[in-house]
Protein backbone atom coordinates (compact mmCIF):
# COMPACT_ATOMS: atom_id res chain seq x y z
CA UNK A 1 0.00 0.00 0.00
CA UNK A 2 1.24 3.43 -0.85
CA UNK A 3 -1.16 5.43 1.37
CA UNK A 4 -1.72 8.16 -1.22
CA UNK A 5 -4.48 10.63 -0.26
CA UNK A 6 -7.85 9.87 -1.78
CA UNK A 7 -8.75 12.26 -4.64
CA UNK A 8 -12.34 12.52 -3.31
CA UNK A 9 -11.14 14.70 -0.43
CA UNK A 10 -11.96 12.31 2.39
CA UNK A 11 -9.33 12.22 5.11
CA UNK A 12 -8.29 8.67 4.20
CA UNK A 13 -5.89 7.03 1.82
CA UNK A 14 -7.06 6.05 -1.65
CA UNK A 15 -6.53 2.38 -0.78
CA UNK A 16 -8.86 2.54 2.25
CA UNK A 17 -11.40 4.89 0.63
CA UNK A 18 -12.41 4.91 -3.05
CA UNK A 19 -9.80 2.32 -3.99
CA UNK A 20 -11.88 -0.29 -2.14
CA UNK A 21 -14.64 0.20 -4.71
CA UNK A 22 -12.65 1.06 -7.84
CA UNK A 23 -9.82 -1.46 -7.54
CA UNK A 24 -11.14 -3.84 -4.89
CA UNK A 25 -14.49 -4.69 -6.44
CA UNK A 26 -16.40 -3.92 -3.25
CA UNK A 27 -19.75 -2.14 -3.93
CA UNK A 28 -20.07 1.41 -2.59
CA UNK A 29 -22.36 1.29 0.48
CA UNK A 30 -24.04 4.68 -0.08
CA UNK A 31 -24.87 7.08 -2.89
CA UNK A 32 -22.29 9.56 -1.60
CA UNK A 33 -19.59 6.88 -1.48
CA UNK A 34 -20.38 6.03 -5.10
CA UNK A 35 -20.28 9.73 -6.06
CA UNK A 36 -16.89 10.15 -4.42
CA UNK A 37 -15.55 6.98 -6.05
CA UNK A 38 -16.78 8.08 -9.48
CA UNK A 39 -14.92 11.39 -9.07
CA UNK A 40 -11.80 9.46 -8.04
CA UNK A 41 -12.26 7.20 -11.07
CA UNK A 42 -12.07 10.27 -13.33
CA UNK A 43 -8.90 11.39 -11.54
CA UNK A 44 -7.37 7.90 -11.90
CA UNK A 45 -8.84 7.38 -15.42
CA UNK A 46 -10.62 4.15 -14.45
CA UNK A 47 -13.11 4.15 -17.33
CA UNK A 48 -14.38 0.61 -16.79
CA UNK A 49 -15.50 1.56 -13.27
CA UNK A 50 -17.32 4.63 -14.60
CA UNK A 51 -19.12 2.49 -17.18
CA UNK A 52 -19.96 -0.28 -14.71
CA UNK A 53 -21.46 2.16 -12.19
CA UNK A 54 -23.83 3.73 -14.74
CA UNK A 55 -27.50 2.76 -14.88
CA UNK A 56 -27.72 -0.48 -16.90
CA UNK A 57 -29.77 1.24 -19.65
CA UNK A 58 -26.96 3.81 -20.19
CA UNK A 59 -23.89 1.56 -20.21
CA UNK A 60 -24.04 0.89 -23.96
CA UNK A 61 -24.04 4.63 -24.68
CA UNK A 62 -21.00 5.41 -22.52
CA UNK A 63 -18.38 7.26 -24.58
CA UNK A 64 -15.29 5.74 -23.01
CA UNK A 65 -12.86 7.47 -25.38
CA UNK A 66 -14.45 10.89 -24.82
CA UNK A 67 -14.57 10.43 -21.04
CA UNK A 68 -10.95 9.28 -20.98
CA UNK A 69 -9.86 12.25 -23.10
CA UNK A 70 -11.61 14.69 -20.74
CA UNK A 71 -10.22 12.93 -17.66
CA UNK A 72 -6.61 12.86 -18.88
CA UNK A 73 -6.62 16.40 -20.28
CA UNK A 74 -8.00 17.86 -17.04
CA UNK A 75 -6.03 18.59 -13.91
CA UNK A 76 -8.38 17.69 -11.07
CA UNK A 77 -8.47 20.21 -8.23
CA UNK A 78 -11.02 18.75 -5.82
CA UNK A 79 -14.52 17.63 -5.01
CA UNK A 80 -16.95 19.40 -2.70
CA UNK A 81 -20.15 17.68 -1.65
CA UNK A 82 -22.76 20.41 -1.16
CA UNK A 83 -25.71 18.25 -0.10
CA UNK A 84 -26.76 14.64 0.18
CA UNK A 85 -30.42 13.59 0.32
CA UNK A 86 -31.18 10.02 1.21
CA UNK A 87 -28.88 7.47 -0.42
CA UNK A 88 -28.03 5.65 2.80
CA UNK A 89 -27.72 1.94 3.40
CA UNK A 90 -31.49 1.59 3.93
CA UNK A 91 -32.51 3.70 0.89
CA UNK A 92 -33.07 2.74 -2.75
CA UNK A 93 -32.56 6.24 -4.15
CA UNK A 94 -30.47 9.26 -3.27
CA UNK A 95 -29.16 12.54 -4.64
CA UNK A 96 -25.76 14.11 -4.18
CA UNK A 97 -25.19 17.74 -5.13
CA UNK A 98 -21.52 18.46 -5.75
CA UNK A 99 -18.92 20.68 -7.35
CA UNK A 100 -15.93 19.13 -9.11
CA UNK A 101 -13.15 21.63 -9.75
CA UNK A 102 -10.58 21.12 -12.50
CA UNK A 103 -8.14 22.94 -14.75
CA UNK A 104 -8.70 22.55 -18.49
CA UNK A 105 -7.09 24.46 -21.35
CA UNK A 106 -5.40 26.74 -18.81
CA UNK A 107 -8.63 27.83 -17.13
CA UNK A 108 -10.10 26.91 -13.76
CA UNK A 109 -13.50 25.30 -14.24
CA UNK A 110 -16.29 23.91 -12.10
CA UNK A 111 -18.74 21.14 -12.85
CA UNK A 112 -21.86 21.53 -10.68
CA UNK A 113 -24.38 18.74 -10.65
CA UNK A 114 -27.14 17.11 -8.69
CA UNK A 115 -26.54 13.42 -9.31
CA UNK A 116 -29.34 10.92 -8.81
CA UNK A 117 -28.36 7.42 -7.71
CA UNK A 118 -30.48 4.31 -7.48
CA UNK A 119 -29.82 0.96 -5.92
CA UNK A 120 -30.42 -2.27 -7.81
CA UNK A 121 -33.13 -4.23 -5.93
CA UNK A 122 -31.44 -7.59 -6.57
CA UNK A 123 -27.73 -6.86 -6.15
CA UNK A 124 -28.18 -3.87 -3.79
CA UNK A 125 -25.37 -2.10 -5.69
CA UNK A 126 -25.68 1.65 -6.22
CA UNK A 127 -25.45 3.11 -9.73
CA UNK A 128 -25.51 6.58 -11.26
CA UNK A 129 -28.91 7.15 -12.85
CA UNK A 130 -29.14 10.76 -14.01
CA UNK A 131 -27.65 14.23 -13.74
CA UNK A 132 -29.66 17.33 -12.96
CA UNK A 133 -28.63 20.96 -12.99
CA UNK A 134 -28.83 22.23 -9.42
CA UNK A 135 -30.97 25.26 -8.77
CA UNK A 136 -28.98 28.46 -8.60
CA UNK A 137 -28.77 30.17 -5.23
CA UNK A 138 -31.00 33.24 -5.01
CA UNK A 139 -29.30 36.60 -5.40
CA UNK A 140 -29.31 38.54 -2.15
CA UNK A 141 -28.78 42.29 -2.34
CA UNK A 142 -26.26 43.77 0.04
CA UNK A 143 -27.65 47.29 -0.32
CA UNK A 144 -31.29 48.34 -0.37
CA UNK A 145 -32.87 48.53 -3.81
CA UNK A 146 -33.14 52.01 -5.28
CA UNK A 147 -36.42 52.64 -7.06
CA UNK A 148 -36.70 54.67 -10.26
CA UNK A 149 -38.61 57.45 -8.51
CA UNK A 150 -36.48 57.56 -5.36
CA UNK A 151 -34.08 60.47 -4.87
CA UNK A 152 -30.69 59.73 -6.41
CA UNK A 153 -28.09 58.51 -3.93
CA UNK A 154 -25.45 60.86 -5.37
CA UNK A 155 -27.15 63.81 -3.63
CA UNK A 156 -28.08 65.76 -6.77
CA UNK A 157 -31.68 66.17 -5.67
CA UNK A 158 -32.94 64.62 -8.90
CA UNK A 159 -34.90 61.38 -9.16
CA UNK A 160 -32.70 58.33 -9.67
CA UNK A 161 -34.18 57.67 -13.14
CA UNK A 162 -33.18 61.16 -14.33
CA UNK A 163 -29.70 61.08 -12.80
CA UNK A 164 -27.47 58.03 -12.19
CA UNK A 165 -30.18 55.61 -13.37
CA UNK A 166 -30.33 57.20 -16.84
How confident is the model over 110-117, as a mean pLDDT? Answer: 95
Question: 114: closest CA among 99, 127, 92?
Answer: 99
User: What pLDDT does residue 22 have?
Assistant: 97
User: What pLDDT does residue 104 have?
Assistant: 92
User: Cα–Cα distance between 125 and 6 in angstroms, integer?
Assistant: 22
Does residue 160 carry a pLDDT above 70?
yes
- Determine the distance from the C-alpha atom of residue 32 to the mean position of all C-alpha atoms in its chain, rounded to a whole number: 11
**In 12-120, which ranges are E strands?**
75-86, 93-104, 107-119
Alpha-helical (H) ranges within 44-166 are 47-52, 64-73
User: Cβ contacts of residue 37 below 8 Å, gap of 6+?
Assistant: 8, 18, 21, 22, 28, 49, 53
**pTM: predicted TM-score of the whole model, two decimal places:** 0.79
60-67-110-134 Cα dihedral, nearest 10 degrees? 0
Amino acid sequence: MTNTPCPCGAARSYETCCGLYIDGGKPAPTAEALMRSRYSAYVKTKMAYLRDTLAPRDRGQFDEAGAKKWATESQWKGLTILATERGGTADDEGTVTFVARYLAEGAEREHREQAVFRRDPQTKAWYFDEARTPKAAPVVREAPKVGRNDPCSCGSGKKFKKCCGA
